[in-house]
Structures are given as C-alpha cells and as structure tokens.
Amino acid sequence: MSSPRYAVLGYPLEHTMSPFIHEKLFTAQGMSASYEKRELPPEALAQALPSLRALDGFNLTIPLKSAILPFLDQLEDRAALYRAVNTVKCSQNILTGYNTDYIGFLRALESAGITLSGRVLLCGAGGAAHMMAFEAAMAGCTVTIAARPSGLSRAQSLAQEVRGKIPGANITALTYDTVSGAFDLLLNATPAGMYPHPDCMPVEANVLARCKAVFDAVYNPRETLLLRTARQTGAVCAYGMPMLVWQAAAAQEIWNGRTFTAGQIAPVIEQANREMERVFH
C-alpha cells in the first residue's frame, strides 16, 4: 500500500512553513506520508483538479481559500460559515472542504491561558480576521473591528456579515484613530510587525495599555513589537506559531483520524520556531 500524499497550494509559496510542520507532525505520529508544495494561481485551479483529486488531502493558503469553493463537493459547517477553506479531504473522489484555522486559534489562546470573552478589539478585516470575528461573536464577546481608513468599508462589511449570520452578535467597525475604552483581549489579524518589517504595530502603545491580553497571529518573528510592548504593560500575551501548528494538526486529524496531545504539539512548535529563525534571520 502506497503512503498517503498531501500538499499545500497557494500563490506564492516561497515562505510557507507547512511542509516542515506537517512532516514533523507525521513523525510525531510515526506515520509515513509525503507533503509537497504546489504554487498555483486561482485561475489554474480548474485545470489542476484531476491531479488534486489524486491526493489524499491538501491545504490552501492565500489566495485560494475562497477560490476553491466552487470546486468542492461538500463543505463542513465552519468552512460554510466563513466561506473560506484551508483543508480539503479527498475520499472516494469526493472533495470535502474544512476550516481548521479556528481550531488553531482557540488552542493557541487556551495554551496561553487566555479566554475568548468580554470586550475584544480585532485589528484587521482580512481572512484571519474573518474567522476571529465569527469565533469571538459566537463566544458572546463584544467585538470592535479596527481598520485603517482605506479598509473601513471592508471592516464594516465583515461586521454586517457576522450580524447577519449570528443573531444578536454585538460587533461594530471603526478606524484605529477612534478606538477608545478598555478591552479584555486584542487580536491582531494584520501583517503589521511581520518580517521583514518588524518595527510596525497595528495600534499605538496607549491602546495596548488598556488591553488585558493580546494575541498576535504573526509568527515571524516570534516576539513582535506588539507583543513586546504589550508585555511591558503587563498584558497576557500569545503569539502565532502555536496557531499555525495546531491548525496543521487539526488538518491531519481530519485526513487520517489520528489525534494529537499537547505533549506531541509542544516540541513541533519549538522545532518550527527554530526552523523559521534559521530560514529568515
């Protein structure tokens, strides 16, 4: 029997950590499998479909998470809610789309001792923000989406979408310069502070001083300026690599039914951190 075959699809894929992380996860399970990366622009998806169906499963990253939707046979609940897919299982020629980003997000918060509750300030309105907005609203949080003036209409559309799909959701959108009050949790879903531009933050330090906890989805570098500044104000902090590894582990659980323990995941997170530092710094 041949080993299972998996891949990550995106465009571009130069800096993806997915192959490294998945290979370490396969090793942690004592499993023999291959995982490749395939650069694929959205317009090439239809043509690539036969070769994708020959795989046992695949992951999707920017800009394919929504572009894949018309080509899937089935969608699980979260993927349907967000209209975004990052994991596909291929079984008996049927492609089923899932979203495991939310599992990575919730596990990352949990492992840092952060509760998704109370007043939440969400920075950004892109793909990761989409998922976080829904999860925070479903957890009963009061959500404020903050965006730059150029992104305000997108943030307002996201807030409207969440209110439309989750009855009673308390979610609003505004620009960064009008953020006021205190927050239980700040979520950064923007690339601000990501390598090679580590000297950026999505908000000013005076906003961080009013946040009890901060989660930064950026994983490169491990300690962003946002987290470093938040730590100085006494906030509980969590960074992006645990989210990346846990969402990959959740994808493998979908593909082959094997579950992971926190004890198996912790060394993979550290290995991924070291690999990222080796490659980028």
Would you name the residues annotated as active-site residues? 65
CB 188 within 8 A of CB 202: yes
- CB count in 10 Å sphere of residue 94: 11
- Determine contact, residues 85/60, Cβ cutoff 8 Å: yes
In degrees and rounded to multiples of 5, residue 275 shows phi and psi of -65, -40
CA pair distance 116, 137, nearest whole angstrom: 10
Q: How far apart are CA 254 and CA 279, in angstroms?
A: 29
Strand-pairing partners, residue 122, are 145, 187
Q: How far is the CA of 234 from the CAs of 33, 81, 181, 229, in angstroms?
A: 43, 35, 17, 9
Q: Position of tokens 């807030």? A: 159
Tokens representing 106?
């919730």
| Cβ pair 217, 189 in contact under 8 A | yes
> 3-state class of 191 per DSSP?
coil
